[in-house]
């Protein structure tokens, strides 16, 4: 049986990456055959601010991946998203069914009731699903059709985002002669590629530390159950270094990459590093500082990021259910001491996450910075039932219609 080809586009604050993969139809496993990536342009915190620059960056990444894959042009891409203030909503609604046999119409009615809570034409659905149905207050019902009761309820999980940022990104992609086949919340994709089966089933949280954004996704029962993000990431650490040491941003990024550590206990005063500075005359000069001074700038910012994420996990009621196991990934997770600092802040089991179950990745793309791209491949391979939500026609139908379509197709 012939393999099928899929493609993804990871649009991040730091880089734009395109993966092209062949999927073994029998095994359902992707093998990367084309990789292209370049520095992000025209984006701010994942949001398009210059369409021409973003379009050119996408073209460059896609062209490189196509050439590596043999030259055949791709048509459809699955894309990640962190723009548009994405967040999760959990909702419970209930309708009277008066003791008769529950039908498809009753399911429609309970979803219509939810429309009043969720209907927002300025937002679109990224992911949705039913946690469970309930009959007369008894939860855990997977399919209520044909059953009897007085009240039918449903628990839903919905992740949505503002529509305008997606339309802008979609326009850039369309200008590159590509169709947007699906949209995935970035930490959800990262979790798919870095979590093992037991972590997905028993409950865990994936924290994706990107350049401009840090986001997280919670999993339980092998399902994505909650997600959120904050507008802080590795770029903010770089800016702190540049300001604190009076050094150019390029030099600050180099210092962070080569010598960065976010745990003061792992740095010593004896270790000295050279820092390029900008003098009053505009001439560059070099000074020497203790490496511990660099750490003293990095640690507070990373600790602040973790504390904000910790508070969001608590506010969502996840701390004692799935918040005892954390997997940290993303480009900014490569800072030294991240795992140890996370254990200190979250007081739970922590490990660093790298892409799993993807064949054909080059050595340079096997780090946490490419976890989202790897997860997009896994999503496009194994979860096609959600992809139809995000074509242009579905986007214009609004948030709630997509939930209804998903439930009808799965029950």
Query: Is 238 in contact with 272 (CB distance < 8 Å)?
Result: no
Question: Of the residues 112, 146, 161, which one is the last residue of a structural domain?
Answer: 161
- Residue in the block written with tokens 């910075």: 369
Q: Looking at residue 94, which CATH number applies to its domain?
A: 3.30.1490.110
Q: Which domain holds residue 118?
A: 87-161
Q: Is the same domain home to 249 and 332? A: yes
CATH number, position 348: 3.30.420.40
Report if residue 123 sits inside a domain: yes
Q: Are residues 344 and 202 in the same domain?
A: yes
Q: Are residues 148 and 204 part of one domain?
A: no
Burial degree of 168 (CB within 10 A; 0-12, 13-18, 19+): middle
In a domain, 279, yes or no: yes
Single residue among 114, 141, 161 that ends a domain in this structure: 161
Which pLDDT value is given to residue 283? Answer: 57
pLDDT per residue, tens digit, the chain (411 aa), is 578 899 999 999 999 999 999 998 788 889 999 999 999 999 998 899 999 999 999 999 999 999 999 989 999 999 999 999 998 988 889 999 989 999 989 988 887 787 677 777 788 888 887 778 899 989 888 889 999 999 999 888 889 999 999 999 999 999 999 999 999 999 999 999 999 999 999 999 999 999 999 999 999 988 899 999 999 999 999 999 999 999 999 999 999 999 999 988 777 667 899 999 876 555 568 899 999 999 999 999 999 999 999 999 999 999 988 889 999 999 999 999 999 999 999 999 999 999 998 999 988 899 999 999 999 999 999 864 443 333 334 444 444 555 455 455 555
Q: How far apart (Å, rounded) are the C-alpha atoms in residues 341 and 359?
A: 32
Based on the fold, state whether residues 281 and 349 are members of the same structural domain: yes
**Within this chain, do residues 223 and 330 fall inside the same structural domain, yes or no?**
yes
Residue 20 lies in a domain: no
Number of neighbouring beta carbons within 10 Å of residue 6: 22
In a shared domain, residues 202 and 153: no
Residue 317 lies in a domain: yes
Residue 262 lies in a domain: yes
Global pTM exceeds 0.75 = yes
Instruction: Assess whether 145 and 202 both reside in one domain.
Output: no
Chosen domain end from 161, 188, 223? 161
Which pLDDT does position 284 carry in this prediction?
Answer: 65
d(CA 258, CA 246): 18
The burial of 142, by beta-carbon neighbours within 10 Å (0-12 exposed, 13-18 middle, 19 or more buried), is given as exposed
Contact call for residues 386 and 127 (beta carbons, < 8 A) = yes
- On whether both 211 and 339 belong to a single domain, the answer is yes
Establish if 147 belongs to a structural domain: yes
Structural domains counted in the chain: 2
Residues 238 and 336 in one domain: yes
Which pLDDT score, from 0 to 100, does residue 69 have?
Answer: 95
Q: Are residues 148 and 235 located together in one domain of the fold?
A: no
> Does residue 313 share a domain with residue 256?
yes
| Residue 232, domain member (yes or no) | yes
Q: Are 147 and 207 within one domain?
A: no
Residues 320 and 324: their CA atoms lie apart, in Å, by 7
Residue 313 lies inside a defined structural domain of this protein: yes
């Amino acid at each position: 049986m012939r393999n099928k080809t899929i493609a993804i586009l990871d649009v991040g604050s730091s880089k734009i990456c395109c993966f092209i993969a062949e999927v073994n139809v029998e095994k359902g496993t992707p093998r990367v055959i084309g990789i292209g990536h370049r520095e992000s342009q025209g984006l701010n915190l994942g949001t398009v601010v210059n369409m021409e620059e973003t379009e050119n960056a996408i073209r460059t990444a896609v062209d490189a991946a196509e050439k590596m894959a043999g030259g055949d042009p791709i048509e459809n891409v699955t894309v990640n998203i962190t723009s548009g203030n994405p967040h999760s909503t959990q909702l419970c609604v209930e309708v009277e069914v008066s003791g008769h046999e529950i039908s498809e119409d009753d399911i429609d009615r309970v979803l219509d009731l939810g429309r009043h809570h969720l209907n927002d034409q300025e937002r679109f659905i990224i992911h949705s699903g039913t946690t469970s149905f309930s009959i007369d207050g008894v939860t855990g019902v997977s399919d209520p059709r044909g059953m009897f009761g007085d009240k039918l309820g449903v628990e839903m999980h919905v992740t949505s985002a503002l529509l305008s940022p997606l339309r802008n990104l979609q326009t850039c992609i369309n200008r590159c002669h590509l169709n947007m086949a699906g949209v995935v919340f970035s930490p959800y994709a990262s979790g798919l590629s870095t979590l093992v089966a037991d972590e997905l089933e028993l409950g865990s949280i994936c924290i994706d530390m990107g350049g401009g954004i840090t986001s997280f996704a919670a999993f339980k029962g092998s399902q994505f159950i909650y997600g959120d993000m904050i507008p802080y990431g590795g770029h903010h650490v770089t800016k702190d270094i540049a300001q604190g040491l009076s050094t150019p941003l390029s030099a600050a990024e180099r210092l962070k990459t080569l010598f960065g550590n976010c745990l003061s206990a792992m740095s010593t005063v004896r270790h000295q590093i050279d820092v390029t500075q900008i003098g009053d005359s505009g001439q560059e000069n070099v000074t020497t500082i203790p490496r511990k001074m660099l750490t003293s700038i990095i640690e507070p910012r990373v600790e602040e990021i973790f504390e904000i994420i910790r508070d969001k996990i608590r506010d969502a009621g996840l701390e004692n259910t799935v918040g005892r196991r954390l997997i940290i990934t993303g480009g900014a997770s490569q800072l030294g001491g991240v795992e140890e600092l996370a254990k200190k802040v979250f007081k739970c089991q922590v490990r660093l996450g790298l892409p799993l179950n993807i064949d054909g990745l080059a050595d340079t793309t096997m780090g946490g910075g490419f976890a989202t791209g790897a997860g997009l491949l896994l999503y496009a391979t194994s979860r096609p039932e959600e992809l139809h939500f995000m074509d242009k026609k579905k986007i214009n139908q609004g948030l709630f219609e997509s939930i209804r379509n998903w439930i009808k197709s799965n029950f």
